[in-house]
Structure 1
């Protein structure tokens, strides 16, 4: 194969990107995990064998191939191989139970499933046996519940009965042709539950994945001299189409681990002297609170990407030492990030805004009711155009568009832009609380509460109230050995913030409720603490 000239045009797909990297820098280390590492040349060579296997199985453009694996080198090899034959990679969460996996497979309808036998500590084998009773039955040629699924490939020792072994796939000859993935076609499907009862298959386009990741890395100031630590799972937007591809497009060494654990993360970070990282507030706090944490262990850190309140981002700067940290805004439908603060922007801008739109992305703020565009400074719904997912993939493979007639995607998030066009995310539209006839942003109240030195983190939501319509509930985590109760915190608030922003109820906890992806969750908080709050009203 002849690698395309990377300076002549936009790289069409992940397969084309690895072809370029392997041709130009075959011996450079591309990825490091706790147990292995691989160069660009090694990944490309193994990916060609994955592609050859898939091609022999009749997999090609518009075919769907599912991957149910933790972060590892093989995940990347398989992803590149799928891209080479022009198929769609359907990324499955490793946090699944039987009910979850059944719904994902029905929605994704893959023809081939790559699975690691170590997912969920090996429990995935029992889940697969239950969903696929035909596994290991010699005369069975298909799976009744998933008629399109015809092959399962195990990355492991052979624990899944009837599955082909990845080691046998690697014994295939290399794929002889040029990568088949097309720039404008869907190459990756990520699942998000959102507000629907059926998982949403978010269909991301080959070229846009590469272009957006390149722009993100540029804002981050990433280069081939960097080592980037990405602990997010590859099936998640921040992990795969964002962090992993950002590292590849900038030839930074990618360091990852199968599952985030703060001690293991610190070990990898220190051993490989990482200079950049992706982190979330819960990950940051977990590493800082780990008994083995010292500033010396992260002394090589310079830059990174995170989200959170100004206080949470300041912690990444002050305690982890990422002085060039970038603040971002986005969603899976927006390739994880639509706006990113430049790494060399003023600290105040990086703390208080999510930055300007990436090249090729347009952001506007509209009135949630009239849909009219609002001027700078006015709060409204965030809408984005340009680098937006092709739509939601249906079980038959068709794509349902998610943009309006002008090409804008309505995010359901609230925010505003300043006079320079830099975005500030305020919260989900459904999170807004209307008390005494006034709209209150829970995020604003959370940030205010965290200015109290006794409060480490806070989560605010609204509950119905006969007198005021709604009132605020604050769930807070306090600093060690600090006693805070509802009365004392409300007393502290008085005179510092408008009275309607003072929580009517305060619940003190050891840890804020989180989703599986590590995001704090107001809906979980409402469900968990409803009884305790109701008893007081």
Structure 2
């Protein structure tokens, strides 16, 4: 892959603290981060991160500590994240739509000793969630410190601004020593992602690959110093904190944060901040196209960026003005993207139909998932990766054994095929995981909660194709005879929101007799045939 001259030189740094120092010296007063009322240049962001890092050191956070972040897309998220990485600690991302049950699991599983959180986000009150999982000495025994952004916080938590005060007596030499002790291969991120199991997995990511792979992504997208990327995709998600953040930091661009997605506000930000890059899912672009303010806003600054979806869905960012939009493919485990189409130089018939060619350094293959025999050109098989990939899931050797082949390739669980020119075409998911609005949902997790509800005998969760969200979560349910369908559905819609993030709650329900379930000859459920219950061919189909 060529290195385009306008992208500038690739950073020399292989750790995040070194990258911040290098880019602050190189770009100085160029804007790096905008959010709310805050604006940071590369130099001021570097200084802010250092000041917060000193405060964390004063609080006892050090190399190997695990610090969780729970808030919307605020500048404080980025400052805290980079500070955590700068002292050799591990940043643990927490889903902003988290429930008390999910929060308890992630904080306990990750061994987080510190939580940095916003008191509120949309309808969520995180302080109340923390109260629900008390006593913390038993539920999350490693958690000792709480830092809050906004409001009064939680009993014992300290304000975000106070962390800076506590760090004033920490000498530069101590922070410099902590930063110098960080090694390129050290784990710096632990991002939680849903899979085909009922609990989220902690994906461990290293410093040097967050820098290298993200620079290659930006180079493929023709990102240049001064580019401005609109970001409403949640920072807790790999697309935000891995891909977008380090794409722009490695290229001298600016991240323009939107705390949460709302189409009208997105249009305003893109116009007023003169954003050049779109980063988001097709449903976001569609909402912006349909918003009444669309025709009032000047989006002529948009040029490119990244998205994913069908050919029709990929046209939506183009209609907004991002005519050089790139089609991206990858997973959190593969450092965001492993394959990206070139929206400027690739043939038009391949920009959207394929997900592009492998990025530099990517070692991949498409194979028969059972025999690992290589697939021929045009033959569909499982997409597998050897580099760059996570070093493994935190505290879960059984999942690691399942996730990697004997010869060291990561099993993506996705199906694809290469053409004669080396372009990869995504052909669906091998695993049962579904994706709604660009976010992964593990059916097993949702099924586990549904079957706990009164009146439910069996539950099967699938994805039903949807023009806006790619898929919507749907549930096929067998009653136990104690409750009527209408009453149970109403109860499920209410009760499931107490245990599941909103995007995981089924939007569609169909109640069936057990003998109507499609089974294999060995008596196993054929999940791929359950979508029939949500088609017009099914007389019992319930549309909502």
TM-score of the aligned structures, taking structure 1 as reference length = 0.77
What does 1:410-421 align with in structure 2 at a 5 Å threshold? 410-421=411-422
Deviations, residues 143-169 of structure 1 (Å, cap 9, x unaligned): 332121111111224332211121111
Contact in 2 for aligned 1:191/1:201 (Cα 8 Å): yes
Distance 2:143 2:243 in 1: 28
Q: 1:39 aligns with which of 28, 38, 41?
A: 41
Deviation at 1:221, TM superposition (A): 0.3
Contact residue 90 and residue 188 of structure 1 kept, 8 A: yes
Deviation at 1:56, TM superposition (A): 2.7
Residue 337 of structure 1 is matched in structure 2 by 337
> In 1, distance between residues paired with 2:324 and 2:157?
46
Unmatched 5+ stretches in structure 2: 1-7, 434-461, 469-499, 511-529
Give 3-state SS (helix, strand or coil) of 2:305's partner: strand
**C-alpha separation between the residues in 1 aligned to 2:133 and 2:198?**
20
1:449 maps to none
**Pair 307,476 (structure 1): closer, same or farther in 2 beyond 3 Å:** closer
In 1, Cα distance between equivalents of 2:357 and 2:237: 23
Equivalent residue for 2:394? 393
* Residue of structure 1 equivalent to 2:247: 246
Kept in 2: contact 1:210–1:249 (CA 8 A): yes
Tell me which residue corresponds to 1:322.
322
**SS, match of residue 336 in structure 1:** coil
Rounded Cα–Cα distance in structure 2 between residues aligned with 1:258 and 1:62: 29
Partners of 2:334 and 2:123 in 1: CA distance: 32
1:99-138 CA-to-partner distances (Å, cap 9, x unmatched) read 111111121110111111123445111111221346xxxx
1:371 alignment counterpart: 372
Contact 2:27 2:252 in 1 (8 A): no
Answering whether residue 375 of structure 2 is matched by residue 381 of structure 1, we say: no
Look up the SS of the partner of 2:154 in the other structure.
Answer: coil
* Structure 1 residues 7 and 163: CA distance shift in structure 2, 3 A: same
Q: Are 1:303 and 1:325, in contact at CA under 8 Å, matched by a contact in 2?
A: yes
Which SS does the other structure have where 1:393 is aligned?
A: coil
CA contact (8 A) 1:328 1:354 kept: yes
- The answer to whether 1:271 aligns with 2:275 is no
Match of 2:62 in 1: 60
Aligned to 2:129: 127
Do the aligned partners of 1:38 and 1:73 also contact (CA within 8 Å) in 2? no
Describe the shift of the 1:399–1:44 C-alpha distance in structure 2 as closer, same or farther (beyond 3 A): farther
Match of 1:114 among 88, 97, 116: 116
> Structure 1 residues 430 and 66 mapped into 2: Cα distance closer, same or farther (>3 Å)?
closer
For the 8 Å contact 1:365–1:380, the answer to whether it is kept is: yes
> How far does the alpha carbon of each residue in 1:431-477 deviate from its partner, in whole angstroms, 9 at most, with x for none?
69xxxxxxxxxxxxxxxxxxxxxxxxxxxxxxxxxxxxxxx997666
Shift of 1:212: 0.8
Q: Is the 8 A contact 2:10 2:250 kept in 1?
A: no
Offset at residue 181 of structure 1 (A): 2.5
Tell me if the contact between 2:464 and 2:534 (Cα under 8 Å) persists in the aligned partners. no
Kept after mapping to 2: 8 A contact 1:106/1:395: no
What residue is the counterpart of 1:464 in the other structure? none
Work out the CA distance in 1 between the residues paired with 2:379 and 2:94: 39
Instruction: Indicate how the Cα distance of structure 1 residues 476 and 69 shifts in structure 2: closer, same or farther if over 3 A, else same.
Output: closer
Please give the alpha-carbon distance, in whole angstroms, between the structure 2 residues aligned to 1:315 and 1:281: 6
Structure 1 residues 191 and 343, CA gap change in structure 2 (3 angstroms):
same
What secondary structure is seen at the aligned counterpart in 2 of 1:391? coil
Verify: 1:88 aligned to 2:93, yes or no: no
Matched-pair contact (CA < 8 Å) for 1:109–1:395:
no
Question: Are positions 1:535 and 2:536 aligned together?
Answer: no
State the 1:215 CA deviation: 0.4
1:255 positional shift: 0.7
Q: CA deviation at 1:356?
A: 0.6
Runs of 4 or more, structure 1, over 6 Å off, are: 6-9, 398-401, 515-525
Q: Against the structure 1 CA distance between its residues 208 and 293, is the aligned structure 2 distance closer, same or farther, given a 3 Å change threshold?
A: same
Structure 1 position 362 matched with structure 2 position 389: no
1:7 to 1:476, Cα distance in 2 relative to 1, 3 A? closer
What does residue 206 of structure 1 align with?
A: 207
Q: Is the 8 A contact 2:10 2:215 kept in 1?
A: no
Pairwise CA RMSD of aligned residues? 3.1
**Partner residue, 1:153:** 147
1:236 matched to 2:237: yes
Give runs of aligned pairs for residues 165-314 of structure 1, distance below 5 A. 165-171=159-165, 172-173=167-168, 175-176=172-173, 177-178=175-176, 179=179, 180-294=181-295, 296-314=297-315
- Residue number in structure 2 paired with 1:19: 21
Cα contact 1:383–1:410 (8 A) shared by 2: yes
Note the C-alpha offset of 1:523: 9.4
Higher mean C-alpha displacement, 187-196 vs 523-532: 523-532
Q: Mapping of 1:416-495 within 5 angstroms? A: 416-430=417-431
Greater relative CO (CA pairs within 8 A, separation 6+): 2
* 2:156 is the counterpart of 1:162: yes
Q: Verify the 8 A CA contact 1:68 1:94 in the aligned structure 2.
A: yes
The Cα shift of 1:527 comes to 8.4
Instruction: Tell me the equivalent position of 1:445.
Output: none
Q: CA deviation at 1:316?
A: 2.3
